Amino acid sequence: MPITELLPYLKGLSHDDKLLLLHFLVGELLEDSGLIPLDAQDKAANEGLRNSFEAAAILAKALAEEKATKNG
């Protein structure tokens, strides 16, 4: 499927889903490069990445809500 067909669907994703997609794509690029993604390493590294990712998503949401409150 060409990227031009995917773009409308990608633009419709929620912020959280876009972050998850970005995480997935980075992992794919790492694998293609022969590198080991963090989530394929030991479980401790995986837990740290997941916790950091979720924290970043929560922070991004809070910042967006604060910005909307100030502008609205």
Domain count across the chain: 1
Supply the range of the domain harboring residue 14: 3-71
Indicate the pTM of the whole model: 0.47
- Produce one character per residue of 1-32: b if its CB has 16 or more CB atoms within 10 Å, e if not: eeeeeeeeeeeeeeeeeebeeebeeebeeeee
Per-residue pLDDT reduced to its tens digit, 17-57: 999 999 888 888 888 888 765 656 555 455 555 567 777 88
